[in-house]
Structure 1
Amino acid sequence: MPTPRPVNVVLRALQILRALNRQPVSSVDAIHKHTAIPKSTIVRLLQTLEADGLVRRAPQYGAYHLTSEVTALTSGYHSEPRIVEAAAAPAEALTQELKWPVAVAVHDGDAMVVRYSTIPHSPLSFFHSTINMRLSLVTQALGRAFLAYCGPTEQDALIDLLVRSSGEPIAGQEASIRHMLAQVRERGYALRDPRVRPESSTIAVPIFEETRVVATIGLTWFSSALDAEQAVARFLPPLQEASAEISRQLAATAG
């Protein structure tokens, strides 16, 4: 399908909002200087934005300024959208290089939830889609990589939650779980429990924002194509580099 043409009036309104964001109060002349939009168009769009409560006139300056209503436009942009935005390009580059599908998951209660996947870009995908799929913190690679790198207090709380949860049959296995998590930290990566869908496997690493683990990224392959040792040797370095790049992107958008 051909790419639809952008709606110029919307693009111009966004340009005006960005120009207004440059300084506390802006005149029509200043907005025109920053955007090159005709002054008559600027005035009409400012009036429209004013009617919607995003902009207010400052008569004493003969100019305009943003209102607090513009903050509502960012209320839906929090940790998960930032992670997805930061992860998209590195994850797609990883799949373009290695062909296997890559997923990025974030923590949600007693599980990890897939929020981004390169399945549409991979010729070797296992599922039509994994978006919003919930994954175990104990048996899935994306969950293990997160739980292993949590702070001690958070890890203890999550393990306690899992022990009490009927969905995770791990009562009496706390010692073995903690041993597995220690191995993940020592190795720097997690593998899926081989008893879960043995026809495929996943390797995952944590994604950090500063020193805090905020998500995980993993790559899945057919078990018949590579054994675990071969997969680690081939996939771990580029997966770790992708994680580092996502962390750099998160740092660049912090605040």
Structure 2
Amino acid sequence: MAERDEIKSLKKALSAIAYMNEYGDVTVTQVAKGVGVPRATAYRLLQTLASEGYVDKLPNSDIYRLTSLVRRLSAGFRDEQMLIEIARPLIVQAQQELGWSIALATPRGTDMVVRLNTDHDSPLALIRYGVGASLPMLLSTCGYCYLAHCRPEDRQALINEALSRVDPVQPVRFDRDQIQRLIADVLTDGYCHLEFDHYREGNLGVPLLLAGQPVGGIVMRYIKSTLRNTDKLRNAYAPRLQQIAREIAARHPAHRTWQASIQSVNTAPHSPS
């Protein structure tokens, strides 16, 4: 490729990611030296990567760290496409059984992005979202399901960033205590249930875990005025969504490999102490 066709800022950002991948937690000064750019340039590179969710700045420190989002750069489109291909028939079948719209969402920075949904197949969907639609993580049941299963340091960094990005005119606001209660509820109940006064639809979401790691969530939207029975949400709909999440994971090669490795460790002979 001719030099005039290259995007130099992109090359520097990729060099910064490669440097952090090799050396782990770093400061701006270390990145500047490692990549061979002025400190001001290194700072802008890290801030840009952080704004896209690839880097976190640890609270009350000068340390920057790569996030799990970077793994998608190596996995590429195919891993996510495989997840969608596995999920599609399961979600379509559940939508036909339950009637309500069901979607799969994964994180992008501090948003949850719809990767697959059945809005256009459900006659009960009041709003028909397209694939690629995004919602702030703190307004999403899938967001809380994802946060609940993140590493504590990653979770706190995401919450801090999400709170800093809250639109001041947004009608729904959360404080840190509310956020922690919702996360605790997910860990206790295995699902997240949200209803907002400003919206006619309620949301019921469950975590989607792959190889023991959170990758997103499954959410069902329903019309609040026609489904006031919270026992049915808890005892019928939530278990059905959890079943979908388990089946998606069970059919994914990465999850099967992970389970096999755990079984191998558990069945390995132990040396006498």
Whether TM-score is above 0.5 comes out as yes
Q: Following the alignment from structure 2 to structure 1, what is the Cα–Cα distance between the partners of residues 234 and 102?
A: 15
Match of 1:105 in 2: 105
Displacement of 1:111 after TM fit?
Answer: 0.9
- SS of residue paired to 2:252: helix
Q: Could you list the runs of 4 or more consecutive aligned residues of structure 1 that deviate by over 3 angstroms after TM superposition?
A: 74-79, 166-172, 251-255
Higher mean C-alpha displacement, 159-168 vs 206-215: 159-168
- SS of residue paired to 2:91: helix
Match of 2:217 in 1: 216
Q: 1:75 to 1:138 in 2, by over 3 A?
A: closer
5 Å-filtered alignment, 1:65-144, equals: 76-144=76-144
5 Å-filtered alignment, 1:1-255, equals: 76-167=76-167, 173-197=175-199, 199-227=200-228, 228-251=230-253
Displacement of 1:81 after TM fit?
Answer: 1.3
Match of 1:5 in 2: none
Provide the aligned C-alpha RMSD in A: 2.5
Deviations 1:42-83 (A, max 9, x none): xxxxxxxxxxxxxxxxxxxxxxxxxxxxxxxx9853332122
- 1:242 maps to amino acid: I
- 2:188 maps to amino acid: E
Match of 1:64 in 2: none
Could you tell me the percent identity over the aligned residues? 25
Q: 1:201 to 1:244 in 2, by over 3 A?
A: same
Displacement of 1:217 after TM fit?
Answer: 0.4
- SS of residue paired to 1:195: coil
Higher mean C-alpha displacement, 97-106 vs 161-170: 161-170
- SS of residue paired to 1:128: coil
> What is the TM-score normalised by the length of structure 2?
0.60
Contact 2:143 2:216 in 1 (8 A): no
Computing the radius of gyration from Cα coordinates, the structure with the larger value is 1
Q: 1:164 to 1:117 in 2, by over 3 A?
A: same
Deviations 1:71-123 (A, max 9, x none): xxx98533321221121011011001111110000000011000100123222
Q: How many pairs align?
A: 181
> What is the TM-score normalised by the length of structure 1?
0.64
Contact 2:104 2:219 in 1 (8 A): yes
Is there any run of 5+ residues in structure 2 with no aligned partner, and where?
1-73, 258-273
Q: Following the alignment from structure 1 to structure 2, what is the Cα–Cα distance between the partners of residues 172 and 115?
A: 25
Is there any run of 5+ residues in structure 1 with no aligned partner, and where?
1-73
- SS of residue paired to 1:78: helix
Q: Following the alignment from structure 2 to structure 1, what is the Cα–Cα distance between the partners of residues 128 and 195?
A: 22
